Amino acid sequence: MPRLILTRLLALVPTLLLVLALSFALMRLAPGGPFDQERPLDPAAMARLRGVYALDAPLWRQFLDYVGALATGDFGPSLSWRNFTVAELFRQGLPVSATLGACALGIGLPVGAAAGLFAAARADSAGDWLISAIANLGVMVPSFVLAPLLQLVFGLWLKWLPVGGSGDLRHYLLPVAVLAAPQVAAVARLTRRATAEALQAPSQVTALAFGLPERVRLGRAFRAALLPLLSYTGPAAASVMTGSIVVETLFGLPGVGRYFVQGALDRDYTVSLAAVLLAASAVVVLNLAVDIAYLFADPRVRG
């Protein structure tokens, strides 16, 4: 088993390199550069700037240098946030984004699973219908709609919670709710579908005939939902923990979500590539973690 995990981990390196190469090429081939301003810079000054940041070497050379520096843990200086290194920016922002994401997931998984289980247990009842309708809506409502709506209702009309900014726990309730809502909805839908299907299985009929209590039967059926939930959790965690531009902008939180957008807009090569690398590694590593968890959870996969 450790051998398998190690080889899988090593196999991630070429994938990440490919991602890095693709985004490097995209970034560099896109029109515009990090030092473009409304009034063009003096060509000599521009040439000097590009020289300082070593942007005048051939592209392949720059790419190799960049990867080489990455290998030593050096992400380089930011090109648009002057006087900051990329590592500093992410060291400040990542804890905020990751905590928000982890809280959202920590709420989303149990609440969603409970709602889905309830709906499956009372399939085709009014409760089931209501939960399914809300969940269908929840997976679709985008965060940029949900966030201002929640601000309006809980911040301005009811005046229960602050509309934005960081501070005590109350400041984080709305952002976490916005991040958690689609998770709750998706998890509820997954759980309901898988559990309801498992409740139809012959083994369940037998259990019913033996007079097992509903709690036990539901518990057994819920196991069928665990595997799809596991494969959902990997990518979901990857996306929710690497920051959300919408939530961070609307609630004024200093996370890393904005680097994905602002970095690409400013052609801040180093910040963008670090953001891409962060997101891509989160995806591949968490997917690998899910695959490994599968090995433990499902004997059929072990073969």
- Name the residue nearer to other proteins (CB basis): 108 or 263: 263
Compute the least distance from the CB of residue 207 to other proteins, in Å: 26
The position carrying tokens 């409304």 is: 38
Compute the least distance from the CB of residue 87 to other proteins, in Å: 19
- Name the residue nearer to other proteins (CB basis): 182 or 207: 182
- Name the residue nearer to other proteins (CB basis): 16 or 87: 16
Compute the least distance from the CB of residue 267 to other proteins, in Å: 8
- Name the residue nearer to other proteins (CB basis): 155 or 254: 155
- Name the residue nearer to other proteins (CB basis): 130 or 140: 140
Nearest to 224 by CA among 205, 188, 202, 196: 196
Q: State the Cα–Cα distance between residues 258 and 196, nearest whole angstrom.
A: 40
* Residue ranges in contact with other proteins by CB under 8 A: 15-16, 18-19, 22-23, 26-27, 29-32, 136-137, 140-142, 144-145, 147-149, 151-152, 156, 163, 242, 245-246, 250, 260-261, 263-265, 272, 275-276, 279-280, 283-284
b/e sequence 233-250, b meaning 16+ C-beta within 10 Å: bbebbbbbbbbbbbbbbb
Phi, psi of 77, rounded to the nearest 5 degrees? -85, 155
What does the angle CA 252 – CA 261 – CA 89 come to, to the nearest 5 degrees? Answer: 65
Compute the least distance from the CB of residue 220 to other proteins, in Å: 23
Q: State the Cα–Cα distance between residues 67 and 172, nearest whole angstrom.
A: 37
Compute the least distance from the CB of residue 88 to other proteins, in Å: 21
Compute the least distance from the CB of residue 292 to other proteins, in Å: 18
Q: State the Cα–Cα distance between residues 109 and 101, nearest whole angstrom.
A: 12
- Name the residue nearer to other proteins (CB basis): 141 or 173: 141
Compute the least distance from the CB of residue 302 to other proteins, in Å: 22
The position carrying tokens 């005939």 is: 209
- Name the residue nearer to other proteins (CB basis): 103 or 190: 190
Distances (CA, A) of 164 to 148, 150, 245: 11, 11, 14
Nearest to 12 by CA among 298, 286, 299, 297: 286
